[in-house]
Structure 1
């Protein structure tokens, strides 16, 4: 291996083929748009981009059952056999959310392979950090697809890090939907800590992630959930996230951080009700970056995830993640000029394709947003939840 000693960006255009149908909200055009934005900003040279091999059967079997993998393969055929079509429901692959599609095994195995390769690069010391935006499919269960997720690349990457490197892994999930698939995969495993901050399951899929889900047996206290209220804004979200993460990482002291960066807690996202701005998507990775260097020699793998306003939110949020991870000079400009504009060439390229007016600055002009009427009550309820979440961390 060459010694890169710089963060790597794992990207393969084949991952844009992870597509259920033309009307599905999971639209991988967001990957293409993010890569284009970073290139237009001068922040993504070819030298940092790497591709990965597809996951092996062994990689998948660490977190999925043989029967489920067999079903995914069979339903990946352009014309699946009738017996497998009848079985699709048993494996969660016949729903509007997660319908089977041609080639899904090969395409999703590539996604899993990318996240595993990210672990190898970081744990081997070839790179301090690795970003794989095609990953983050955190809802898939051991024997069931769910929530737009066929194979769970995050769980597979964690299991690989444990098996190959003996690593203690802290998994951080900032998607607006609870990171259920990963939590349940390691619910009784004391070598894996999980922190999920998400909109309360009272109102949102998957309905789990209550504050009293804490792990079981020797792993009790290593699974932490912070279910925030609908219409939570930046300040309250960041207060909950930073305090709980600080306590958890100090107690757990991981060898590796794997974080999932769904950006659907943004106010513009059509599938949820949290009201954060782009400020969160700069401040949150800055905190993870700092803590990675403080507690685990900088070892940090970041994955993508949800995000369904592909025009105004995802490219900016994911680009900010990479700017932070790779310590781009552009961040200094942004500090000096909070309303710094996006590259005009990118705006010109995508505005004609977008059904909405693109936001033309890196950060949101939140001062123009209508205030949330129940701000104080929401913040207070979140503060109470945060204190309960930290009950076993102090």
Structure 2
């Protein structure tokens, strides 16, 4: 049979052979083009993951009533949420506080302004909705001092809110693409418990020093800067430390709990909307953005490969296996409280549920609904605060 095929090919006309060769060339070029597009897409996604993100507009200001002190925004899953929030703006104000929803329709949401806006105000239409609420430490009306934490990367700015006898501290770690102001919401509940709050920065977050690559390692190295903060707390008299991490700050807190040189004074972790397994998060976000599975898979593979780091600009391989805390659940040794919404919309709660299943002896999960990513305090401040108070008190971490 093989010889007959060869004979047929030998007998084929030159025109037919030329056509076959041309078709094969076109197919090869097309395949190369597809592979090139996949590779380019994966590199773009990989760079986006590790590059510190600028805050981008995600809603529009449709109307501003300075007489009634109301603002109308385009409707999104965030802007329609009940509760208190913030809005990053440009113009005569850079940040305003938002109150409850007053009215809504299919395309817009009118909210109460909790920051007074004068009649001569001028705000650009593009704005960014935020769960921060407080954007400066002075707004808490609590005594605080600015501090510098000496890390191997350089001095990292922090805010210190003293409380109680100074022996129990909570060290708060903000998430990806934000700064330490994200954590201010939690200070009052800890202050009321007599727990000192230290709100820290870490490499490449826009406040702390920049690393050589200037990119995130998703918790794999950032934990060292927070470990320096634990050492700072210890030198200032802390005998017990709680780590509280928001979003990527949760991934940092989990790495710190396993690797800290001061693990003997870490008493527990509180994680708000945490990243527990980066692969799950990145795959979820890729699906949300309608990125092909092949592209997201290649991006993750590139990020965890040393040879691809010059392309991804990650500064080195990202150790996704080391950052997968469900797989490493047996190594955990500190009690953990997780606060996570099943409607998070950015960091899915699946891995938080999986971590409870893997370590029910250590991990407690409080599931919220409707509230979105790192907006649980905003959505239900009473439940959020009561849950933290109860967990801290039950473990004897609140000074008597």
* TM-score with structure 2 setting the length: 0.33
Larger Rg: 2
Tell me which of the two structures has the higher relative contact order, counting C-alpha pairs closer than 8 angstroms and 6 or more residues apart. 1
* TM-score with structure 1 setting the length: 0.33
